[in-house]
Amino acid sequence: MTAPDTTPGDPGILLVLDGWGHAPPAADNAVDAASTPVLDELTGRYPSTLAYASGEAVGLLPGTVGNSEIGHMVIGAGRPLPYDSLLVQQHIDSGELRENPRLVSLLDALAVRGGALHLVGLCSDGQIHANVGHLSELLAAAAARRVPRVWIHAITDGRDVADGTAETYLTQVTELAAAAGTGAIAGVIGRGYAMDKAGNLDLTDRAVHLVADAEGTEVNTAAEAANASERGDEWVDPSILRDAPGARIADGDGLVWFNFRSDRIQQLADRLLEHLAATARTVDTLSLAQYDTRADIPALVQRADASGGLADELTAAGVRSVRIAEAEKFEHVTYYINGRDSTARSVEEHVRITGPGASDYKARPEMNLDQVTDAVLDAAARPEVDLVIANLANIDVVGHTGDYAATVKACEHTDAAVARIATAAAESGRWLLLVGDHGNAEKMTKQAPDGTSRPYGGHTTHPVPLVVVPANKEATAALPQRATLADVAPTVLHLLGHKTGSAMTGRPLL
Ligand SMILES: O=C(O)[C@@H](CO)OP(=O)(O)O
Ligand SMILES: [Mn+2]
Ligand SMILES: [Mn+2]
């Protein structure tokens, strides 16, 4: 770790505008269409650039859309970090995954005792939480080890991919199973139920009972379940295939979770394992990547080391920070930005804004932004606070609804919040660094396989704007033409008067 240098810096505010991407003006660009006089003025008047936030620049496979977890991790780490999806793919390409001792021993045990293998995960190629290609590899491994029965408990997406595509992915899953020579879909359920992360256990339990107990609406085909949903792919009701006898999890079966990202599957994983234990079923369980569950689930692929980032540097230098976000994005400015490290640090305060959540953010594009902004202003007014780090969730969260008009409004609410924060920064002698963590709202349609253009609420591969409003407004050094999210932590440290951390490969932009 680098010793703090003695250059006096200024206190500041790091503001992550979640899902704030940049793309040329177009009919589906909500960021461009929104009236955002303050963002326009700050971007025009102060040093600004575009930062890469997807693909290899942040530690993803080339061409892969950015996401909040890797986005905030790289903002904090000051270097690209090989993300779980990339690591899993490397293990598949090298043949390591199939030979993984934990996997082999589970599959061999099932073959010997005649147990079934249950595979649970999101069935799409959105590459934010999961990739059906990984499922395919697990199916091939199960076939090679002669596991007698393999059940796929399919979660439908409609968020990381265009809505209305669930049937296509379920068909693909069936084809992958046929190609592997094993596996059948047991049940289907939307991610709104199965991947709740807000503690709505009534939703989670619908998924628990579908997967563990084969309880759901009976359907003849997976497509029938997907097409029956009146609220899109995210909300496909728990449905059990009529020709899936014995899909209920039995004592002695095995279970592998194939989402690589933890945050939206860990609630279900814990709840399901507790239910199995309570109903006297011993089930050996693995996850594809490491999960943040209460239960200790052995992972097939380990996480990259993310230490030596901003949090470690701030702690070593005694820099006091306040982290602020509403519930949707709270882990982003605490756990993710700290490198998936939950160590409590005495120099850090966490402010989690709770307010009415919403099952439909279209109707409330302002979310709880006023309270988030109030908290930022309170923290900025405290002289002992060196750094305020906040996430403004609206552009991403409302963008995910795929509703263009609501997303334009979310951008406009964000602009009004930035106006208040920029004024407070000026009044408290703070610099203000604005940056997106990945694109979303700047592209609100996607071409479907049939050539039609569909509303799209997912992330993009576009770069994100990065603007530095210096504490001393006279200083107007230009930023490099292109930056990456890895440059944010070195720039923040520089503005605070500290050197780039020795583990960081990004550079200060000023
Ligand atoms: O909501 C989520 O889980 C993902 C999209 O699936 O978005 P983000 O990476 O912004 O959290
Ligand atoms: Mn995000
Ligand atoms: Mn998102």
Q: Say if residue 6's pLDDT is above 50.
A: no
Q: What is the pLDDT, as a whole number, of residue 4?
A: 42
User: Is 459 known as a binding-site position?
Assistant: yes
What's the mean pLDDT in 413-417?
99
Q: What is the pLDDT, as a whole number, of residue 5?
A: 42
Nearest ligand 1 atom to alpha carbon 263:
3
By C-alpha distance, which of 216, 118, 226, 207 is closest to 169?
Answer: 226
User: Is 191 known as a binding-site position?
Assistant: yes
In this structure, which residue's CA is closest to atom 6 in ligand 1? 160
Q: What is the pLDDT, as a whole number, of residue 237?
A: 98
Confidence band, pLDDT 50/70/90 cuts, at residue 195? very high
| Ligand 1 binding pocket mutation candidate from 163, 400, 437, 456 (most atoms within 8 A of CB) | 400
Domains in the chain and their CATH numbers? 12-80+306-496 (3.40.720.10), 85-301 (3.40.1450.10)
Ligand 3: centre distance to CA 219 (Å)? 32
Ligand 2: centre distance to CA 261 (Å)? 14
**Residues 6 or more apart in contact with residue 448 via CB below 8 angstroms:** 162, 164, 165, 454
What's the mean pLDDT in 384-388?
98
Q: What is the pLDDT, as a whole number, of residue 472?
A: 81
By C-alpha distance, which of 421, 471, 435, 346 is closest to 9?
Answer: 471
How far apart are alpha carbons 84 and 333 in whole angstroms?
A: 19
| Ligand 1 binding pocket mutation candidate from 60, 85, 128 (most atoms within 8 A of CB) | 128
Nearest ligand 1 atom to alpha carbon 328:
11
Q: What is the pLDDT, as a whole number, of residue 475?
A: 64
User: Is 364 known as a binding-site position?
Assistant: no
Q: Say if residue 166's pLDDT is above 80.
A: yes
Ligand 3: centre distance to CA 197 (Å)? 13
DSSP, collapsed to helix, strand or coil, labels residue 276 as helix
pLDDT tens digits for range 229-285: 999 999 999 999 998 777 999 999 999 999 999 999 999 999 999 999 999 999 999
H-helix or E-strand spanning residue 391? strand 387-392
Q: What is the pLDDT, as a whole number, of residue 449?
A: 67
**What residues flank ligand 1, with Cβ below 6 Å?**
67-69, 128-129, 159-160, 264, 396
User: Is 18 known as a binding-site position?
Assistant: yes
What's the mean pLDDT in 458-480?
90
Global pTM reads 0.96
Q: What is the pLDDT, as a whole number, of residue 219?
A: 97
More confident residue, 357 or 174: 174
Q: What is the pLDDT, as a whole number, of residue 38?
A: 98
Structure tokens of 139?
């199916």
Strands 464-469 and 149-156: unpaired
Q: Say if residue 357's pLDDT is above 80.
A: no
Q: What is the pLDDT, as a whole number, of residue 338?
A: 98
In this structure, which residue's CA is closest to atom 8 in ligand 1? 68
229 flagged as catalytic: no
Q: Which of 48, 54, 68, 428 is flagged as catalytic?
A: 68
431 HSE (CA, 13 A, CB side): 27
How far apart are alpha carbons 362 and 230 in whole angstroms?
A: 17
Confidence band, pLDDT 50/70/90 cuts, at residue 88? very high
How far apart are alpha carbons 7 and 314 in whole angstroms?
A: 15
Q: Give yes or no for a contact between 250 and 281, defined as CB atoms under 8 angstroms apart.
A: yes
Confidence band, pLDDT 50/70/90 cuts, at residue 356? confident
Q: What is the pLDDT, as a whole number, of residue 120?
A: 98
Ligand 3: centre distance to CA 418 (Å)? 20
Ligand 2: centre distance to CA 438 (Å)? 6
Q: Say if residue 3's pLDDT is above 50.
A: no
CB-proximal residues (5 Å) to ion ligand 3: 396
How far apart are alpha carbons 201 and 193 in whole angstroms?
A: 9
pLDDT tens digits for range 116-129: 999 999 999 999 99
Q: What is the pLDDT, as a whole number, of residue 474?
A: 66
What's the mean pLDDT in 424-453?
93
Q: What is the mean pLDDT of the chain?
A: 95
